[in-house]
Amino acid sequence: MKGIAYIISAPSGAGKTTLCRMAAAHFPEIRNSVSYTTRKPRPGEVNGRDYWFIDDETFDRMVAAGEFLEHAGVYGRRYGTSRKDLEALLEEGFSVILEIDVQGAASIRKTLKGGVYIFILPPSLKACEQRLVDRGKDSPEDIRKRLKIAEEEIKSAPSYDYLIVNDDLGRAFEDLKAVMMAQRAASMRMEGRLRELFGGILKD
């Protein structure tokens, strides 16, 4: 059965990355898509696990060759999703989580069929700000910029298939698991798996 592409967006500080990693650890058939980026690695990040870290020249070459399903500039850096990497995983039967900003998600909608779009919301912008402060990776000016962008990103939330509020990590993860389990069950029908298993007793 072909895998499912989960496109997951959220403003900075909503807990998207943590939830995505929890999902990939819980479901053996789910993989996290590894995006390409021109930004420098943060402390603790590993090339090929968190991102593929490349220079601008390589990024430009990949854009020109049409290798990206989507690509966008965010906070002065560029990010892109490899079309070939995603399609290979889906054809192998793995479902794939794509952590994509709202700009990239809008682009993917135009070219990717059957994707499931999930938006992770913080309980409030104040909580979002506090999480960014607590993680200690951004300057006060960067945090102000991220919160301003967050306000615009949240306006796109109604266009997603599912909304999950991360006011409690455990509860938010249960909501995410429920979405993924429901989609997996639905895909058995859509991909013809039901007929493959019980074709002998099903009428055309």
Per-residue pLDDT tens over the stretch 129-185 = 888 888 877 788 888 888 888 889 999 999 999 999 999 999 999 999 999 999 988
Q: What is the pLDDT of residues 17-75, one digit of tens each?
A: 999 999 999 999 999 999 999 999 988 999 998 899 999 999 999 999 999 999 988 77
CA nearest neighbour of 7 among 171, 119, 89: 119
**DSSP H or E stretch at residue 96:** strand 95-99
Task: Check residue 184 and give its pLDDT.
Answer: 87
pLDDT at residue 191 tops 70: no
3-state secondary structure 142-190: HHHHHHHHHHHHHCCHHHCCEEEECCCHHHHHHHHHHHHHHHHHHHHHH
Q: Between these two residues, 102 and 201, which has the higher pLDDT value? A: 102
The residue ranges of every structural domain in the chain are: 5-196
Contacts of 92 (CB under 8 A, 6+ apart): 3
Q: How far apart are CA 159 and CA 119, in angstroms?
A: 9
Q: Which fold has domain 5-196?
A: Rossmann fold (3.40.50)
CA nearest neighbour of 94 among 36, 28, 35: 28
Q: How far apart are CA 76 and CA 58, in angstroms?
A: 17
